[in-house]
Amino acid sequence: MPKETFFITTPIYYTNWVPHIWHAYSSIICDTLARYQKINGKKVKFSTWVDENSQKAVLKATEMNMEIMPYLDMMAEKHKAVWDGLNIKYTDFIRTTEERHHKLVREVLQKCYDNGDIYQAEYEWMYCVGCEAFKKDEDLVCLNKTTKETFPFSSKVKMSENILKVCPDHLTEPQKIKEKNWFFRLSKYENFLKDFYHSPEWKNFVIPDNRFNEVKAFVGRWLEDFSISRETNTFGIKLPFDETQVTYVWFDALFNYVTVCKYPDNGGNDEAFWPADIHVVAKDIIRFHAIYWPAMLKSAGYPMPKNILTTGYFTVDGQKISKSLWNVIDPVEFSAKYSKDLLTLYMLSSINIGQDGDFDQKQAILMYNAKLANNLGNLVNRVVVLALKLDWVLENNKLRRYSGVSMEWDTWIYDNKYFSFDSDNIFEKIDKLKNEINEDFERFNLKGILDDSFKFLDKLNDFTTQKEPWQMIKDETKLEETKEVLYTIAEWLRQVGLALYPFFPEKMSEMFVKLWLEDYTQNLEAGELQKLIAKNETFVIKEKGDPLFLRIDI
Ligand code: ME8
């Protein structure tokens, strides 16, 4: 039977910047979800990309005194280097200047035009290049140029040289544009969208719920047709029905998600991957994904993506990220200095997906030291050191002696005399981890999985402290008991390792090797997670090796 498919996408990042740490946030979420689906047996496609046909890129190239194509080539390499540097295991990387993408966009534009959804009109509007979006008065705020303060815009505020109407995100005045352009008839899809959002099958289309409610409220209020082309820009994809104009950002960028399926760079056909399972985006582009995108797909005759997972925004040490504040963090440099695992752990467990957060660097280091270096790393080290003092083999045939008839792991655990020690309740915690991991991944509850794993490890550390195997080992009469305690710790580390593998693949692989589970990475990558969870293992500890996680000094 062919494997079930899973297709996940990052946003299509602009190329006027090298990706910063918050672009990495979206990509790390995608990477973790994609890795999980792969080890759980699905055929995974994970795409990332660069959004090149934008005015921002043209302006940046001009500013750098470069021709546009050499500039874009350079930036595409820089973006790729960031994702490769962070070991983000994407399967597809696409640039919107590629021929295959031009072909796809022209096909869909023609289709939408033929069915009457694209028409020409003249308009006068304000346009923010930073957002690559049209703005209305209610989208803007007032900026006092002297004090640099912003306050809400109202028609009563008198504009002057000092009081400007600006975009709240970029604090720049939008351009006034009067052009004859082509429009997409979004208003025609109002009822379609309302029915779609309210049908039970799509009740989780946008996650989390509060973002979905915002989208529904927005569609309930106001749906206007939007411009899909620019008369004055020359760089971009030419409209097939009017070669004097190019399409701009949204119609172009969003269809990238389809290009990689219809025209994948392996030359084959990945159409079975469409519709996408998850588009990961931040709240800044949710309207485009949850409103424009379904309408455009409907018009072009494609099925809807299944989920739009919307993240919040991060600040750095309490401040908005801005090049002028010099608080833009290069994720590769940061990972080299500290660790990629610190980045993953802090970003995925300090907030739930959907909430806004702050990247407090000191807290991130403290969290890394407490959870990865102490809680997990030290425990692994303890088992390894003690096991080396015994006969190096922690056998799983110990299971038989304690359960009597049954050889089931759970039966043994529950009957095991060593676990009468405490009950707040370690068994429930490991069961929760084993039984709910799949559901948690399916619900994108990455924080939940990390929290459960580390709470379980707290309990396991308590158990270890209470049993004191380092004392037991000194008593000849307690050698068997020591082995069994160590076996139990090793087995439970194995279970935690399987749950944490999608987050920390390199370190969990290292841990498996320390426990003589040398084929684990290969078996996981072949989709055998469930088989491994259910397996009984024998652990052979051969050498101490390096510590798994080094503590970081603040
Ligand atoms: O919007 N916190 O590209 P972009 C969290 N090309 N996430 C952040 C962030 C922050 N402070 N800053 C950026 C575009 N991001 C368009 C998208 S898609 C068809 C076209 C992440 O380079 C977040 O995922 O501005 C956000 O949605 C994305 O970067 C915006 O990237």
**CA–CA distance from 2 to each of 266, 347, 540 (Å)?**
19, 35, 36
Helix (H) or strand (E) holding 166, with range, is strand 163-166
pLDDT tens track for 224-275: 899 899 877 788 999 999 999 999 778 899 999 999 999 998 778 899 999 9
Domain ranges of the chain: 5-115+250-358, 360-534
Active site annotation includes 30: no
Select the CATH number that applies to the domain covering 5-115+250-358 from these four: 3.30.1360.170, 3.40.50.620, 3.30.70.1450, 3.40.50.2300: 3.40.50.620
Which of 173-187, 376-390, 499-513, 532-546 has maximum average pLDDT? 499-513
Query: Tokens for 536?
Result: 């009984």
Q: What is the mean pLDDT of residues 341-354?
A: 95
| Helix, strand or coil, per DSSP, at residue 72 | helix
Q: How far is the CA of 313 from the centre of ligand 1 (A)?
A: 9
Q: How far is the CA of 115 from the centre of ligand 1 (A)?
A: 32
Q: What is the mean pLDDT of residues 78-82?
A: 96
Query: What does the CA dihedral 122, 127, 132, 137 come to, rounded to 10 degrees?
Result: -110
Q: Which of 169, 260, 283, 285 is the best mutation target for the ligand 1 pocket, counting ligand atoms within 8 Å of the beta carbon and taking the most?
A: 285
- pLDDT class of 388 with cuts at 50, 70, 90: confident
pLDDT tens track for 440-456: 999 999 999 999 899 88
Q: How far is the CA of 103 from the centre of ligand 1 (A)?
A: 25
Least confident of 57-66, 145-154, 297-306, 455-464: 145-154
pLDDT tens track for 395-443: 554 433 323 233 333 333 433 434 433 434 555 666 677 778 888 999 9
Tell me which residues have their CB closer than 6 angstroms to ligand 1.
Answer: 11-14, 22-23, 25-26, 51, 253-254, 281-282, 284-285, 311, 313-314, 321
Residue length, the chain?
A: 554
Q: What is the mean pLDDT of residues 473-491?
A: 84
Predicted model pTM: 0.89
Query: Tokens for 273?
Result: 């991957």
CA distance 307 to 374: 37
Give me the residue label for tokens 């090796």: 545
Helix (H) or strand (E) holding 299, with range, is helix 293-300
Least confident of 33-42, 229-238, 349-358, 428-437: 428-437
CA distance 68 to 16: 11
Residue 147's pLDDT is what? 85
CA distance 516 to 509: 11
Q: What is the mean pLDDT of the chain?
A: 87
pLDDT tens track for 324-336: 555 678 899 999 9
Classify domain 360-534 at the CATH class level.
mainly alpha
Q: What is the mean pLDDT of residues 95-109?
A: 96
Active site annotation includes 128: yes
CA distance 553 to 185: 57
CA distance 388 to 516: 13
DSSP per position, 435-495: HHHHHHHHTT-HHHHHHHHHHHHHHHHHHHHHH-HHHHTT-GGGHHHHHHHHHHHHHHHHH
pLDDT tens track for 91-100: 999 999 999 9
